Each structure stands twice: as C-alpha cells, then as structure tokens.
Structure 1
Amino acid sequence: MSELYAYQQQLRDDLDRAWARGCRHPLVQLPTGGGKTVFSADVIRATVKANRRVGVLMHRNELVDQWARALSSAGIGRRDIGALVAGRVVLSALPAHLISVQTLARRLDDPGIDEPDLLITDEAHHSAARQYQQIYRMWPNATRMGLTATPARLDGLGLSPTYDTLIEGPTVAALIRWAAENRHGGLADYKILTIPVMSRDLPRALGDFRRSATEKASAKPRVMARVASVWREHARNRRTLVFAVSRRHGRLLTASLVQAGARAEFLDGTAHPIERRNCLDRFRTHAINVLVTVDLLFEGFDVPEADCAIMARPTESVVVWLQSCGRVLRRKADDRDALILDCVGNTESLGGPASPRTWSLAGGIRKVDRVPSDGKTFLGDGRTPPKEIEMELQDVGHGKAEEKWRETVGQVRASLHNLRHVSPGVRRVLERIRGI
C-alpha cells in the first residue's frame, strides 16, 4: 500500500478540516505528477472502510483502467472496484465505481448503480460541462470532491457554482525542490527553450485562438519543417511528446518529423483503444521516440517515460498550456531534467509551469498581462518570429520521399498542358500547381 508523502498528507489534512467545518464540495488542486491518484486512493480507502459508497467520474474510458491499476497498487482490492463503462457488466453492489461520464450521461434514467455518498470528479476543470452538471443534478445528495492541476475552466470562468472551497496543494516550484531534497516524490526540474517558428497574430474566440485559423498557420510546410528541425537539434535523444493543433496538422507534422529522422507516430482520440495501448507501449519500449497528439495526452494519461515536450499548438489558455507541460514533469528514475521546446510563444504569454499563480473559484486565471518569470526559460536559436519562416524544405531531409514527390508533381504538371477549357478560378489553381 502506497504511503502518502508529507505534502500529500498535508493536503489530506486540509481536506479533512474543510469537511469538518461544513464544506460539502471541495475542489483539490495538485500539479500534474504530484500524485492525485495516490491521494485519492487514500480518501477512497477511508470512505469504503466507513461503509460508504464512492464514485469516480472521468472523461475518457481509457482512464478507467489506469485508475483501476493505480487504486490496486494503492491497496484497494480489485474486487471492491466496479466500472460503469460501455460494454462492461455493471456490478452494482460494489462499494466503489469508476465511471465514464459519457456512459453515465446516456443512462441518467437508469444508471445501474445507487447514488454514491462521495462523488469524485477527475480533471474537475471540466465540471461545468453539461454532462457533468446533469450527473450532479441526478445525484444531489452526494458529497462532491474535484481533482485538478488547473482549477479554471477552459473559457477562464470560475468553478464556484460547482465547488464551495478550493484546497491548494504545493506549487510546481515546491515539488521540484522536494525532488531535489528527497529520494522519492516531487517533480522533475525542467528547462524551456523558446524558439518561435510562427506568428501569434491569429484570430481569437472564447478566450483562445480559433482552431481553423491556427491550423492553417501551423500547417504551413516551412513552419512544420522548422518544428522538425528544432526536434532534430534539441531532442533527438529524448522521448518526446508533440502537441499539435488538429488531426490534420498532427498527421502532417508527424510526416515532417519522420523525414527529419524521428521514429514518430500520430495518436489521437479517434484511434481504437487497442491501437492506443499498442502505440503507447511502443513509446514506452523505445520502438518509437516521438508521439504526436491532439488533446489525447493533454490530460489524464500517464506517460512518465516522456522527458521532452514540443508545443506546436499556440494557445492563450493556461489550462491547455500547463496540462501539456505537465505530461513531462513526472520524476524519472534517473532524476533527469525535462525539456520543453516552445515553438509558438506560449511561455511569453502564459509563463512557465513554475511561475507563481493565484487560483480562484470565483474566476480561474486564463491569461494575465505580465506573468512572473519561472527562472527556467531561455531563448533558443532562431528568436525572430516571422509569419512564415523562409527555409528550404530539404533542411528536414526528405531523401527518397522528396524524389518520389517531385516525380509525381512532374507527371501532374505534364498532364495539365492538355487542359485548355477551364474557368478562371480553376486556371489560377492550375497555374499555381504548374509553378511548384
């Protein structure tokens, strides 16, 4: 059974005091990698021992198995844990259930399990979403406890309608100091290199950049070639997570990284669960060394082997930024530092993971004008951020793939000479193709 570290025990004591003074719906904040699951296992174990029922809400089905393994290693027997997930048999009599939000939202009329005494919400910054609120209304008598590293909504608004008190754990900086002073626990130290490859002059909506415009700017060949070159120069000996804007951008960026020499694969939420597990296994066993993703590894997933993150997704959301950086801050067995390669200027706008922040239920922070320095951010090569980097694509190393591509373009160009009667718009497109 896992023992709590001193900072986790302090958080546990703070939670007990909040309940003792009458708070029914606390939100617990602990940085990514700080041990929220171990902390929660202690809460669940005590609740089950008191003959009370527990439900744990999570927003991805894959996290159910991850939580089950974590709770089992924390000393909670698997025979005490059920799952409310599509395609599985629901054992309603068990004292604890791991619940997929999507599955339960489809069963509001007949959930198959009784209302829990304690309802824990993982990644609780999602709690304001409609499906969560429907579940909370269905189980109005349950005590709620939220867990998150970033207690703010993605739109920057507050979580006070859902939670009545905020219990903050140690900061990222404190957890890095803990790791330096203790053999176990805490977070890895890190360094950020800012190497902008594109402009942040993009249209905005709902507190962040518009995805369509951001995808168009990020998917320019020269921009992706520069990102691949940044990987090749700074991270080719690290296991790297790359955060893309969209599926299209992610697939194109994966191809650029492969051309640069990376053993890279693309993984997102549309992949079959078996393929997701296989892909993550290939990453963990060094069969691949770069994993490009869109949102899938953004939160919740544990990939402790990763020690480098490349941000190719511009964002104005502190939630997106910190959740992404947190994927590589878990402490490694050899205590190596993490490297964050910021190719899109997020650090200048949002600060680093260890920058001082003030969280509030009344209105979580999204962005401030002057973020205090974390003391770990440095300017990398290529500081100038033009709208489109003037750079030859062969710098990435296309090899035979480029030769085949140019041969195909030559064949297309030759066939276009036979086209004569076309509209002016089509003719402009053809002229562009002829000019490749």
Structure 2
Amino acid sequence: MIPLRDYQEELLNGVYNSMSKGNKNIMVQSPAGSGKSVTMSEVARRATDKGNRVLFIVHRRELVSQIKGTFIANDVDMELCHIGMVQTVANRIKNGKEPTPAIILVDEAHHSLAKTYTNIFESFPKAYVYGFTATPWRMSNKGFTEVFEELILGKSVQWLIDNKRLAPFKYYSKNLMNDNKLKHQSTGDFSNDSITLALEPRIYGDVIENYRKFANNKKTIIYTHNVESSKTVAEKFNEKGYKALQVDGKTHKQQRELAMEMFREGKVNILVNAELYGEGVDVPDCECVILLRPTESLTLFIQQTMRAMRYQPNKQAVIIDHVGNYARHGLPNTEHDWYEHFKGSDKKSKSNNTIPIKECPECFGVVESAYTICPYCGCEFPKEEPQELSIDETAELEEVTEEMITLNFKTPEECNNMKELSELGKSLGYKPGWAYIQGKRLGLIKK
C-alpha cells in the first residue's frame, strides 16, 4: 500500500464532501508532479475494497502501463479495475464488452469535454465521475461546467515547493518585459499591439551556450516547435560532445521507449523532442527543460516547464525559456484563478501571434502544430504551412523572477498606495508627475 501525503488526503476529503452535497461529477485540480496517480489509485483501492467496479480513462497509450504499476503497488483489486485508453474504452462499450463501473476516473481531465469522453460518461449514467488535472483550462475559455458540478482545488505550486513536494526552480529567459518594443498606453499598461510585436515568434540566445552556462550536464528535455528543428538541435548538441537523442510523434514506439529508457538510465543526458513528453510523462530526475517553442496554451506551458520540477532531495530545477513564454503565462508557481477557468467565460483567450497550437474540433485535445492527425481521436487536420522561427543568437538570457513579472504586468488600478504607483512609474520609464496624476485619478492623494 502507498501511504497518502497530507495534501493528497485533503483532496480526497474534498471529493467526499462534494459527494455528500449530492455531486456526482467532480473535477480535482492539483499541480503537475503532485502525485495525482497515487491519489487516484487510493480512490480505486477504497472502491474495489468495497467490491465496486472502477474504470480509469487515459488519453495516451503509453500511460496505461505507468498507471497500472501505481495501482498494483497500491493494492487495487485489478479484477475490478480496468485502465484503458479512451478510444479502446469507447470501442469496448460499442461492442458491449465494458462492465458497468460504479466510478469513472479520468486522467488529464481537461480533455474530458471531448465527445469520446462524454459518450463514455453518458453510457454509464449512474457512475460517479472524478476528473483529475493540473490545469482546468480551455483555449476557448468555455469552462467545464457542462460535465462537472464542482471543482476541488489542491495546494499551490509554491506550497508544494515550500513543503519539499516539488523542486524549487530557477527560470532564465530574455527580459521581454523591458523590451524597447513595448509601448505604453496612457494607463501605464502595455498596448496589445506592442506586446504582440515583442512576442513575435523568435528564438532568443544560443541554445548550447546557455545550456552550458545555466545547466551544464544536467539531465534535460528540450521542446522544439517542429520535427525538423528537433533534429537540428540534437545534431548540434552531439557535435559539441553532449549525448543527445531526438524523438518526435512519428518516431517508432520501440525507439521512443528505448530513448526514454536510455535517458532514465543516464546513458543520454539530453532528449530533444517535438510533439512529445508533455502530459503524464514521469521522469523524476529530469533537472532541466529548455523551451524552443512559443505556446499560447497555459496547459502546455505548465506541463512542459514542470517536467523538471519532480521532487528529489537537494535538486534545483532549471528552466531555460528561449521564446519568452513566461511573458504570456507567468512562471510555474504563478497563481491562476482555476475557479474562474473552471466556470468559463464568453471571452476567447488572447492570441499573442505565437506558433499556433491546435485544439482538435472533435476531442478538444491540445496538440502541437506539426500534427496532421489528432493523436487522441484520429481526426484529420486541414493542411497548414509550417511556420519558421527567426533566431537571435546574440540575445542575453537572465534570471526571471516573479517580482519582475508582477511589476511589469501591474496597472495603476492594481497599486494600493503612492509608493507602489511611484515604483510602477519608474519601472515604465515615466517622470514622477505621472504617478501624481494617476494617484489623483485613483483617489490615492487626499485633497
């Protein structure tokens, strides 16, 4: 049996409290790396101990054996528990081969509004549905209330770092916040047009030079924006004497598994990939991630950056962001209003002219732009011309902190006093009179 940590027990208590209020479909948010598989295995263990049948849905074939291992280690009665990929489960239901579950568990539940998932839920109307995700967020901003009645919130990323459940991190990038392309509106905030200009798809800095500078010889996963660039990057690392392997969505399954095995065993230090190693891949001793692809997806950003933050004693994760993704999404420990995202709104997510990722119209899966067929449901995407990124190898990368981002994203309306207004004015390059005018407008100066 695997003992639950205090915060995992807290999540389960939240689920049971929600059930006591009459809720049947419940979404649970807990950060990447917080042990959602273990928490879900405990739900399954308690259910199967009482003779209840459990169905666990995952969206990638590779995750089935990983999850099975956790469930078996936690003494789940596997005679009463079926773990299957969403497509496989859908086919079994169609053929009358899926026994009726009392509980349906959903991994990476931000996919769960997809038709394939909702069809499964509708096939078993009496079952409880518990969906687990690090990011209850959809590109369309439509929320999840069509399927789930309540959201149970887990601990924050910062709490997990402070309590030695996730590794602390250092984050390096180009300081786009003070980029001279950013023009200010009269309110002191950046104008949308200038943000778009500053965040045009571009790779900042020399990839190998910055790896050597900030993370030399650390076990590293590199995310690139297409297959061609992943091959080029791997080649460059190997030329410089590093052991790097390249994999992508079209790499044969056995080759991909071998690459991951060699990475886990330390036979190669660097895995360069396109379209892979986002959700669900567990490599606790990965110490560094390098971002070479801009993304508008908060889910993708969090999954990728936190791949290096699995806890190990004395480990400090290093995130090297060559594309300024932090300017779109903050840092891995930036707080998000998950309740707001869960409820949804009519507004569409802001587009920052980044390399497009796709949201599949059939299953809502968020995938890399290089895919021609959705890996989740098989839907064919219309043909697109691949976008190339311009490269500025001379750009200097520096450490990015939460304070930098907070200050630069702040508007006068968010300042609580004249001191904060004055600091904001200085950071934006305004004369002292600007803070006085804003203070008067906001009523911070007494008449």
TM-score, normalising length: structure 1:
0.71
The structure-2 alpha-carbon separation of the partners of 1:306 and 1:236, relative to structure 1 and needing over 3 Å to count, comes to: same
Q: Percent identity?
A: 30
Report the more deviating stretch, 105-114 or 144-153: 105-114
1:178 is displaced (CA, Å) by 0.8
Question: 1:20–1:66: structure 2 CA closer, same or farther, 3 Å change rule?
Answer: same
Q: Which runs of 5 or more structure 2 residues have no equivalent in the other structure?
A: 182-199, 352-388, 395-447
Partner of 2:230: 250
- Is this contact kept in 1: 2:204–2:323, CA < 8 A? no
- Does residue 362 (structure 1) correspond to residue 347 (structure 2)? The answer is no
Letter in structure 2 aligned against 1:295: E
1:366 positional shift: 8.8
| Structure 1 CA distance for aligned equivalents of residues 227 and 250 of structure 2 | 9
Return the alpha-carbon distance in structure 1 between the equivalents of residues 390 and 257 of structure 2.
Answer: 37
Aligned to 1:150: 135
Quote the offset at 1:274 in angstroms: 2.5
Structure 1 distance, partners of 2:141, 2:221, is: 26
Cα separation, 1, equivalents of 2:216 and 2:289: 12
**Partners in 1 of 2:266 and 2:286 — Cα distance?**
11
The one of 88, 91, 97 aligned to 1:112: 97
Q: Which residue of 2 aligns with 1:192?
A: 171
Give 1:367 shift: 6.3
1:124 to 93, 100, 109: 109
Cα deviation digits, residues 370-425 of structure 1 (max 9, x gap): xxxxxxxxxxxxxxxx954266xxxxxxxxxxxxxxxxxxxxxxxxxxxxxxxxxx
Counterparts of 2:208 and 2:46, CA distance in 1: 49
> Is 1:288 matched with 2:291?
no
1:299 aligned to which of 264, 267, 279 = 279
Separation of aligned partners in 2, 1:134 and 1:325: 32
- Equivalent-residue separation in structure 2 for 1:390 and 1:105 (angstroms): 48
In structure 1, what is the Cα distance between the partners aligned to 2:333 and 2:253? 34
The alpha carbon displacement at 1:268 in A equals: 2.8
Q: Secondary structure at the match of 2:94?
A: coil
Displacement, 1:224?
8.9
Q: 1:349 to 1:217 in 2, by over 3 A?
A: closer
Q: Are residues 287 and 224 of structure 1, via their aligned partners in 2, closer, same or farther at CA, if it must alter by over 3 Å?
A: farther
- Identify the match of residue 124 of structure 2 among 139, 142, 157: 139
Distance in 1 of aligned mates of 2:96 and 2:251: 27
Q: Give 1:298's aligned amino acid.
A: G
Pairing 1:336–2:315 present: yes
1:70 maps onto 2:50 in alignment: no
**Cα shift at 1:272:** 3.0
For 1:328-349, what per-residue CA distance to the aligned partner results, in whole angstroms no more than 9, with x for missing partners? 11101x3211010111101122
Q: Which residue of 2 aligns with 1:416?
A: none
- In structure 1, the partner of 2:214 is 234
Matches within 5 A, 1:29-40: 29-40=29-40
Distance 1:340 1:329 in 2: 9
- Rate the CA distance shift 1:257–1:102 in 2: closer, same or farther, 3 A: farther
366 and 191 in structure 1: CA distance in 2 versus 1, 3 angstrom threshold:
farther
- In the other structure, the counterpart of 2:54 is 54
Q: Is 1:259 equivalent to 2:262 in the alignment?
A: no
Give 1:128 deviation, angstroms. Answer: 1.5
Query: Shift of the alpha carbon at 1:65?
Result: 0.3
Q: Is 1:347 matched with 2:326?
A: yes
Does the aligned pair in 1 maintain the 2:201–2:294 contact within 8 Å? no
Structure 1 residue 111 displacement after superposition: 4.7
SS in 1 for 2:336: coil
Change (3 A) 1:196 1:252: farther
Question: How many pairs were matched up?
Answer: 334
The farther-off stretch of 109-118 and 143-152 is 109-118
1:316–1:366: 8 Å Cα contact kept in structure 2? Answer: no
Pairwise mapping of residues 200-215 of structure 1 onto structure 2 (< 5 A)?
none
Asked if residue 96 in structure 1 is aligned to residue 75 in structure 2, the reply is no
What's the CA shift for 1:108?
4.0
CA RMSD after TM alignment: 2.6
CA offset digits 1:202-261 (Å, max 9, x no partner): xxxxxxxxxxxxxx966xxxx598223322322222000111112222222222222333
Q: Is the 8 A contact 1:192 1:339 kept in 2?
A: yes
Q: 1:363 to 1:12 in 2, by over 3 A?
A: same
CA gap 1:312/1:111 in 2 versus in 1, 3 angstroms: farther
Deviation for aligned residue 1:196: 7.1
Amino acid across the alignment from 1:169: G
- Contact 1:232 1:261 survives alignment (8 Å): no
- Structure 2 contact 140–349 (Cα < 8 Å) conserved: no
Q: Structure 1 unaligned runs (5+)? A: 82-93, 180-185, 202-215, 370-385, 392-436
C-alpha contact (below 8 Å) 1:350/1:368 kept by paired residues: no
Distance 1:257 1:294 in 2: 16
Corresponding position: 1:389 with 2:392: yes
Change (3 A) 1:283 1:330: same
Residue 423 of structure 1 corresponds to none
User: Secondary structure at the residue paired with 1:327?
Assistant: helix
- Give distance in 1, aligned partners of 2:58 and 2:83: 8
